Amino acid sequence: MILGAATIAVVVTMVLALIRAFEGPSAYDRMLAANLFGTKTVLLIALAGYALSWESYLDVALLYASVNFVSTIAVMRFFEYSGMPRGKADDGGRS
């Protein structure tokens, strides 16, 4: 039962992160929210998998933890360090 409460807490956090990913005025906010969403998915799969007795759920959670990291690094590499044109909704700084 406590496990269920923890799972619901993680799902609520995921929804909050999603709202930030939709709004987030700058791209950095969206990056952060997407990374957070991925981390919470790892926790969700670990907790819900144990509670609902999914099969091989820990392999998937381990995979997500790495894939989330790679995805975040890719977003940073291709946005920040490559001279991509900054958007109109973004900050100033170098362009």
Minimum separation from the CB atom of position 60 to other proteins (A):
6
Interface of this chain with other proteins, residues 35 to 94, rule: CB under 8 A = 35-50, 52, 54-82, 84-85, 87, 89, 91-94
State both tokens at 20.
């930030």
CB 41 within 8 A of CB 14: yes
Minimum separation from the CB atom of position 34 to other proteins (A):
5
* Residue 89 DSSP class: T
Interface of this chain with other proteins, residues 12 to 41, rule: CB under 8 A = 12-22, 26-41
Phi then psi for 53, rounded to 5 degrees? Answer: 55, 50
